[in-house]
Amino acid sequence: MHSSTVQGHVVMNLVVSHELSFRIVVDLDYDPADPFAVRFTFHLPGDAPVTWFFARELLLDGISRPTGEGDVHIHPVGEELSEVCVVLHSPDGDARLVASAPPLIAFLARTDRLVPMGEEPTGSELDEQLAAILAKGCENLG
């Protein structure tokens, strides 16, 4: 059972138009308790932070090739794969963000050391972990 998390920060450009974009800080969090997801918390000027959960594999795939469906689409920018574009669709509108790829790759590498890609617990493993957590929780109450 893993108890630590992976956290990081990246600066992304929120693209408003071809002429206008601004830099925002994005907190990245990975918790092995939810091994398939990465949490992105966007700190927007003048607004409360906005949090989105992405599939970790979607983020990894999007660094090298266009991927995604539904609310989240990720694709590399340019031939060098040095930047990544994240497009978010919500009822409030769409957001286009561009980030440097190396910090995202470094963050994903840290998550992979904690829970290797493709080795996330599934099915009965999760049931066993949940039972162990619940048992510990009940012991702590007594």
CATH number at residue 106: 2.30.31.20
Give the span between the Cα atoms of 105 and 107, in whole angstroms: 5
With respect to residue 13, please indicate whether it lies within any of the assigned structural domains. yes
Tens-digit pLDDT profile for residues 54-63: 899 999 999 9
Contact between 114 and 121 (Cβ < 8 Å) = no
Tens-digit pLDDT profile for residues 12-62: 999 989 899 999 999 999 999 899 999 999 998 888 999 999 899 999 999
Domain limits for position 17: 6-141
With respect to residue 1, please indicate whether it lies within any of the assigned structural domains. no
Write down the pTM of the prediction. Answer: 0.79
Helix (H) or strand (E) holding 51: strand 50-55
With respect to residue 52, please indicate whether it lies within any of the assigned structural domains. yes
As for how many domains the chain has, the answer is 1
Cβ neighbourhood burial of 98 (10 Å; 0-12, 13-18, 19+): middle
End-to-end CA distance of the chain: 23
